[in-house]
Amino acid sequence: MNRFFEFFEFSWFDSLVEVGSSYAEQIDGLILTVLIIVGIWFLAAEYIFLHFILKFRAKPGRRGEYIDGKNKRHKRWITIPHLCVLAFDVLIILVSFRVWYNIKMDLPEDPDAVIRVIGQQWAWTFQHPGADGELDTPDDIFTVDELHVENEKTYHFELQSTDVLHSFSVPVWRIKQDAIPGRTITGWFEPTRTGRYDVQCAEICGFGHGVMAAHVMVEDAETHAAWVAANTPAAQ
Amino acid sequence: MVEPAVDLTHGHAHDDHADHGPQGWLKYLWSTDHKVIAMQYLFTGIFMALIGGFMAYVFRMQLAFPGMPVPGFGIVSPGEYNALVTNHGTIMIFWVAMPVLLAAFGNFLIPLMVGADDMVFPKINRLSFQVFFVSTIVILASLVVEGGGFAGAWTAYPPLSADSTYNLTPLGSTLWVIGVGLEFVAFLLGGINFITTLMNSRAPGMRAFDVPIVVWMIVVASILFMLSVGPLLAGAIMLIFDQTIGTGFYNPATGGDPILWQHLFWFFGHPEVYVVLLPAMGVVIEIITTFARKKLFAYRTVIFTIVATGVLSFFVWAHHQFIAGIDPRMANIFTVTTLLISVPIAELCFIYIATLYGGSITLSTPMLWALAFVAEFLIGGVTGIFLGAAGADIYFHDTYFVLAHFHYTFFPIAIIGTFAALTYWFPKMFGKLLDERLGKWHFWLTIIPFNMIFIPLFVLGMGGQHRRIYNYTHFPELAGDGFQSMRIIATLSLLVMLGAQFIFLYNCIKTARSKKKAPRNPWKANSLEWTTESPPPHGNWHPDRMPVVYRGPYEYSVPGREDDYWPQNEPK
């Protein structure tokens, strides 16, 4: 069964936006699956539609046919396609269920680190665990609009908001989650490509929504360790 | 003994006076005639479309040429940008799509198509427009009050919309909610009329399945609206309380929940899509059957399909909230219901195509608009599947892919569907025939730029561009030349499309000034509105000659008849 689903994992639009997380290919594969299915339906429907328009243009001396669509022989021209639509819907639902489950429901146990992401009007605050790997300890590193993570490590994030709704979105990771004041929403990601990537706020949050830009630095182990060492707050 | 005299006087009055109510310009404010009310809705809707279109022009210019002053507006600040996109959405849905498709054509067509002299409750109908008119003034006022118009997106998610320390528009946001609330009241009043008129005022002989589909569609849409709007009205009142008297229904600090609003809003918001979609689909059915000279394929299936769509539309709302923080298990349920709704909508598209089969098709301007509706709406429909699948929505949510998707549904509905209806019933409404050549220029110069606006936006959405951001140069991944040139193509296409609307305006003026009168039935159509004069007099038919119905509205090309149409009121 897994092999069946792995067939649908494939990235194909990385020229528009890079593939930067472990589950990005699952989402891209789902999008491609839907694209192929609805693309074929769409092209077939438009082809038949335009074909009929051209074929049945009014000509002198020819009348329209009288078909009321009541008898079964005629009706099957719409019942069979509509059963096919239903069947393809089921396929899309199955693939979508798996992607959704892997990304939003099945959080990996024992992540390598937990970070905290706090949205406020109009900036992101990132709380990194620091050298000890634990959140809410004195060596936590706080940054504004710049998240530092290590490549190929699994992270849990705790998403919070201090005022209105925000949405934490990193397109290269294919991740998006709204932040809600009064709640902590936990999710996960595993970056797979080093570099500097955009973080957008994806939920309108007031005057400065358009400038609520942050970025994430995905670093290899050495660079990340150096960053942590250089930024650890001085002990009391 | 007295009765014949009374009848005569009654008929006489109808002939001599255009209206029983006040005369002169007051007639247009206080008339209870369904046709006058339809015109009031139509012209208010067109006026608001001009405002909504101007807003689109301003923010598209800002996106294509960020920071440059926009001719006719000036430099766009982030706050103004947010207010423009917010009110563009609000106006186009609540003050353009609904008043034109549902109210204007509903009012004009229902009594004429079922063979009644007016709505069942003409005074409620008048009240409906008057409340709507007040709501229009309120929403326009909200744009110019101190602090500016509401800028929290047309979905108005709290806490942003509920607290002026967050949204910085204390007056604008409250007026916005009041305006939208009043608009709902207006459509509740109108909807009562649509439903009762179909139920009670049908011409003698007209059975339920002899009613033209567009009437069914408008009535089902009204039922959907009336069933879904209650929770949102309650929600809107809670929102006004949160804004003005400091309650905390949506404020987590006082025990409220911002997600509550999202559920109330989308419980209404998704059926609302079908509220405007169904009338447009009905219009298209009338036009396609007329110009293909074909009987509608499977009339009863259409009725059952729209009822199924309507019922299902109440169970899909949370697909707008997949990543909003709802329980992730809930997303699976809504993925299933959302994809299921593709089945009845696909079926309607198959019925359109099946109706064309074997026809004798004339590509007149109304037919072009109707066919374009089907072709373009298909794109809107299939791109919805991507968003209904929760896994893919994680990426696509709130990107330009969503924006392009719903413009591919709402533009066919509110613009293509409206032009189809307007060009088709223009001779009946105004008694003159539009120029076909100008109409076709207008058609092509609207349809081609429309696609050139939104196809680039699909690509931008796949590239990860999020909505409601006034300047993408802050995001290195989105600031590249390739993406910027797509934004420019979209904006330039919009300018062409807006310019093309002047062709339509010119066509209307030219037609209005010509002396040539339209015949009663220029398209050789079957339904009852074509059996009276163009435009119909007050009371629609002479009271002694009210129509009697003998058959359904789609008896085209019946074998053994000389004419290829068979009006509903023609005795056997």
Contacting residues of A for B334, CB less than 8 Å apart: none
pLDDT in the model for residue A16:
84
- CA torsion B488-B491-B492-B498 (nearest 10°) is 180
SS (H, E, C) B303-327: HHHHHHHHHHHHHCHHHHCCCCCCC
- Judged against a pLDDT cut of 70, whether residue B172 lies above it is answered with yes
Min Cα–Cα distance to chain A from B529, Å? 23
Interchain CB distance below 8 Å, A100 and B331: yes
Q: What is the pLDDT of residues B378-434, one digit of tens each?
A: 999 999 999 999 999 999 999 999 999 999 999 999 999 999 999 999 999 999 999
Contact residues for B283 (Cβ-Cβ < 8 A; gap 6+):
B101, B105, B214, B370, B417, B420, B421, B424
Instruction: Identify the bridge partners of residue A124 per DSSP, sorted by sequence position.
Output: A119
Both structure tokens of B167? 């949204």
Write out the DSSP string of B2-40: -HHHHHHHHHHHHHH-S-SS--TTHHHHH---HHHHHHH
pLDDT in the model for residue B4:
39
Coil, helix or strand at residue A114 = strand
Instruction: Name the residue of chain A whose CA is nearest to B383's CA.
Output: A38
Which ranges of B389-527 does DSSP label H, i.e. alpha helix?
390-396, 400-411, 417-430, 436-462, 481-513
Q: What is the pLDDT of residues B330-384, one digit of tens each?
A: 999 999 999 999 999 999 999 999 999 999 999 999 999 999 999 999 999 999 9
Distance CA B172, CA B119 (A): 36
Both structure tokens of A94? 């199955």
pLDDT in the model for residue B408:
97
Residue of A42, A171, A205 lying closest to B160 (CB–CB): A205
Helix (H) or strand (E) holding A124: strand A123-128
Q: What is the pLDDT of residues B297-338, one digit of tens each?
A: 999 999 999 999 999 999 999 999 999 989 999 999 999 999
Contacting residues of B for A97, CB less than 8 Å apart: 332, 335, 391
Residue at token pair 């309607």: B348
Q: What is the pLDDT of residues A135-189, one digit of tens each?
A: 999 899 999 999 999 999 999 999 999 999 999 999 999 999 999 999 999 999 9
pLDDT in the model for residue B208:
92
Interchain CB distance below 8 Å, A31 and B557: no
Coil, helix or strand at residue B68 = coil
- Judged against a pLDDT cut of 70, whether residue B6 lies above it is answered with no
Mean pLDDT of the residues in chain A: 91
Asked if B185 is an interface residue toward chain A (Cβ–Cβ < 8 A), one would say: no
Which ranges of B115-257 does DSSP label H, i.e. alpha helix?
122-144, 164-167, 170-200, 213-244
Residue of B349, B391, B557 lying closest to A45 (CB–CB): B349
Mean pLDDT of the residues in chain B: 92
Residue B502 confidence class, pLDDT cut points 50, 70, 90: very high
Interchain CB distance below 8 Å, A89 and B340: yes
Instruction: Identify the bridge partners of residue B484 per DSSP, sorted by sequence position.
Output: none
Helix (H) or strand (E) holding A201: strand A195-201
Packed helices B299-312 and B258-292: angle between N→C axes, nearest 10 degrees: 170
pLDDT in the model for residue A3:
67
Interchain CB distance below 8 Å, A41 and B382: yes
Q: What is the pLDDT of residues B431-468, one digit of tens each?
A: 999 999 999 999 999 999 999 999 999 999 999 999 99
pLDDT in the model for residue B20:
53
Q: What is the pLDDT of residues A46-58, one digit of tens each?
A: 999 999 999 999 9
- Judged against a pLDDT cut of 60, whether residue B1 lies above it is answered with no
Percent of the residues in chain B that have a pLDDT greater than 90, as a whole number? 90
- Judged against a pLDDT cut of 60, whether residue B19 lies above it is answered with no
The gap from C-alpha A21 to its chain's centroid, in whole angstroms, comes to: 10
- Judged against a pLDDT cut of 70, whether residue B21 lies above it is answered with no
pLDDT in the model for residue A15:
77
pLDDT in the model for residue A72:
85
Distance CA A203, CA A165 (A): 7
Q: What is the ipTM of this complex?
A: 0.94
Mean predicted confidence (pLDDT) in B287-293: 96
CA angle B348, B349, B351 (to 5 degrees): 65
Q: Which of residues 497-526 of B touch A (CB under 8 A)?
A: none
Q: What is the pLDDT of residues A176-229, one digit of tens each?
A: 999 999 999 999 999 999 999 999 999 999 999 999 999 999 999 999 999 999
Contacting residues of A for B346, CB less than 8 Å apart: 41, 81-82, 85
Residue B8 confidence class, pLDDT cut points 50, 70, 90: very low
* Range(s) of chain A covered by CATH 2.60.40.420: 113-231
Residue of A41, A165, A213 lying closest to B160 (CB–CB): A165
Residue A2 confidence class, pLDDT cut points 50, 70, 90: low
- How would you class B391 by CB atoms within 10 Å of its CB: exposed for 0-12, middle for 13-18, buried for 19 or more? buried
CA angle B404, B408, B410 (to 5 degrees): 110
- Judged against a pLDDT cut of 60, whether residue A236 lies above it is answered with no
Instruction: Name the residue of chain B whose CA is nearest to A15's CA.
Output: B463
Distance CA B396, CA A130 (A): 33
CATH classification of B32-545 is 3.40.50.300, yes or no?
A: no
Interchain CB distance below 8 Å, A17 and B477: yes
Contacting residues of A for B259, CB less than 8 Å apart: 180
A113-231 maps to which CATH number? 2.60.40.420
Interchain CB distance below 8 Å, B466 and A201: yes
Contacting residues of A for B157, CB less than 8 Å apart: 164-165, 203-204
pLDDT in the model for residue A235:
63
Distance CA B103, CA A191 (A): 52
Residue A107 has phi, psi (to 5 degrees) of: -75, 130
Q: Which of residues 374-413 of B touch A (CB under 8 A)?
A: 374-375, 378-379, 382-383, 385-386, 389-392, 394-399
